[in-house]
Amino acid sequence: MANTSNDEDCDYLFKTVLVGDSAVGKSNLLSRFAKDEFFLDSKPTIGVEFAYRNAKVGDKIVKAQIWDTAGQERFRAITSSYYRGALGAMLVYDITRRPTFENLTKWLHELREFGNQDMVIVLVGNKSDLKDLREVDVDDAQRLAQLENLCFMETSAKDNLNVEDAFLQMITKIYEIASLKNL
């Protein structure tokens, strides 16, 4: 975690990334967390590639820089630089589309290949508002989270459920790990 002498409104700044299949809701999770907005169309014309948000952890202000794939996963165009230096990742699937859950293994592989060794990974099952269309049971996701040592939450970017909690859990854990290392 870099102590940001050039960034006066926070004590720490770190990079985090969003990963997961196309259309699972990554951009909407980010805009919900960073700007409290949700959009029904798939994307704004010009994708924002990252956003910042400050969070208070104990008596420190930490600033998370959160990177979004901005649709690059559609073209398999995510490069190792996307992951470089990231201390946290939100690994997102869509609870209404089973294949997005099955593909998590591939995303985990990428995170472990290109990401920081002790990266904090939060597994997020998004679109929890669409209960009737559910294709992934909570039990399946919990099992995977336990096996792979991930935090897990279901969210709805649309209804603003657990979004803040999921990001704050990731940010707090990163801060805790970084503080322990600095001791």
Nearest-approach distance from CB 155 to ligand GDP, in angstroms: 7
Pick one of 129, 135, 148, 164: the residue that binds ligand GDP (CB under 6 A). 129
- Select from 10, 158, 167, 178 the one that contacts ligand GDP (CB under 6 A): 158
What is the closest distance, in whole angstroms, from the C-beta atom of residue 35 to ligand GDP in the complex? 13
Which residues in the 30-59 window bind ligand GDP by CB under 6 A?
Answer: 40, 42-43
CB of 137 to ligand GDP, least distance (A): 18
Of the pair 40, 180, the CB lying nearest ligand GDP is at 40
* Residue at shortest CB range from ligand GDP: 25
Q: Which stretch binds ligand GDP (CB under 6 A): 4-12, 21-29, 97-105, 166-174?
A: 21-29
What's the closest the beta carbon of residue 7 comes to ligand GDP, in angstroms? 27
Q: What is the 3-state secondary structure (H, E, C) of the chain?
A: CEECCCCCCCCEEEEEEEEECCCCCHHHHHHHHHHCCCCCCCCCCCCCCEEEEEEEECCEEEEEEEECCCCHHHHCCCCHHHHCCEEEEEEEEECCCHHHHHCHHHHHHHHHHHCCCCCEEEEEEECCCCHHHCCCCHHHHHHHHHHHCCEEEECECCCCECHHHHHHHHHHHHHHHHHHHHC
- Site of interaction with ligand GDP (CB under 6 A): 22-28, 40, 42-43, 126-127, 129-130, 156-158
